[in-house]
Amino acid sequence: MTARIGVVTFPGSLDDGDAARAVRIAGAEAVRLWHGDADLHGVDAVVLPGGFSYGDYLRCGAIARFAPVMGTIVTAARGGLPVLGICNGFQILCESHLLPGALTRNEHLHFRNRDQLLRIESAGTAWTNVYQAGQEVLIPVKNGEGRYVADQRTLDELEATGRVVARYVDGNPNGSQRDIAAITNEAGNVVGIMPHPEHAVEALTGPSLDGLGFFTSILKHLAGAPA
């Protein structure tokens, strides 16, 4: 049976179409979910896409976290539903307290849009299991509020428990503490990443195919999950 991956659209989302396309290229069915509908329609996993969401002018993701769909997603994620938050989706995951820390204004106060080298630090999550720890991948980054910050205790805990999923290599585009580009929760089913893997799934439009692994990883995870 084909896996059904939900892609949420918020008012202001601009990469939901790209995320849905990446899901299809990976071999799954993309199910479009609306922020105002709390029903997840039986999906096997969820992607919170990049772009923007309403209320970002207050703090990125601060209002979107209260969307009806997020109440259902938070409960389901705590029960094991795989969730990937990309860029603004990462911000929403932090605002929803599914992931620790916060994403703040880039340290240099400029928007950054470039192809960014990352190092995969953890291949043990639902979204990174086709990679190898230490593998370097090239994925676009585009953000103005992408600087990951947390208190030292949280940063140390993320490091000690292997929950840093990816780091920036050859230059930190936003000043993220400890070069963190992606993190996961304790169970490994929720991952937040600031760069955009959905923009690196086709040779025609991306700098590489390196981002496709995030979407094939979830299919591998679901194939091995108990029915």
Specify the CATH number for the domain of residue 202. 3.40.50.880
What b-and-e string marks burial along 2-40, b requiring 16 or more CB atoms within 10 Å of the CB? Answer: ebbbbbbbbeebebbbbbbbbbebbebebbebebeeeeb
Task: Domain of residue 149: give its range.
Answer: 4-223
| pLDDT of 227 higher than 50 | no
pLDDT in tens, 104-136: 989 898 988 999 999 999 999 999 999 999 999
User: Per mean pLDDT, which range of 35-39, 41-45, 63-67, 215-219 is the poorest?
Assistant: 63-67
- Which residues are known catalytic residues? 87, 196, 198
The torsion angles phi and psi of 206, rounded to 5 degrees, stand at -120, 165
Looking at residue 173, its pLDDT comes to: 96
CB 7 within 8 A of CB 49: yes
Average pLDDT value for residue range 2-23: 96
Looking at residue 139, its pLDDT comes to: 98
Alpha carbon separation from 39 to 26, 34, 73 (Å, rounded): 24, 9, 9
CB atoms within 10 A of CB 75: 12
Please give the mean pLDDT across all residues of the chain: 95
Bridge partners of 141, per DSSP, are: 114
| pLDDT of 43 higher than 60 | yes
User: What percent of the chain is predicted at pLDDT more than 70?
Assistant: 99
| pLDDT of 226 higher than 70 | no
- The tokens for 1 are 């049976």
| pLDDT of 53 higher than 80 | no
The 3 state secondary structure assigned to the chain is CCCEEEEEECCCECCHHHHHHHHHHHCCEEEEEECCCCCCCCCCEEEECCECCCCCCCCCCCCHHHCHHHHHHHHHHHCCCCEEEECHHHHHHHHCCCCCCEEECCCCCCCEEEEEEEEECCCCCCCCCCCCCCCEEEEEEEECCCEEECCHHHHHHHHHCCCEEEEECCCCCCCCHHHEEEEECCCCCEEEECCCHHHCCCCCCCCCCCCHHHHHHHHHHHHHCCC
Looking at residue 12, its pLDDT comes to: 86
pLDDT in tens, 81-108: 999 999 999 999 999 999 999 999 898 9
Q: Considering its fold, how many domains does the chain have in total? A: 1
| pLDDT of 52 higher than 80 | no
Average pLDDT value for residue range 159-183: 97
pLDDT-derived band at 42 (thresholds 50, 70, 90) equals very high
Query: Distance between CA 165 and CA 180 in Å, rounded?
Result: 8
Query: Distance between CA 56 and CA 128 in Å, rounded?
Result: 28
Q: pLDDT: is 53 or 207 the higher one?
A: 207
Average pLDDT value for residue range 62-71: 94
The single residue listed with the structure tokens 């209260």 is 66
- The dihedral through the CA atoms of 38, 16, 30, 187 has a sign that is negative
| pLDDT of 55 higher than 90 | no
Looking at residue 225, its pLDDT comes to: 62
Looking at residue 212, its pLDDT comes to: 98
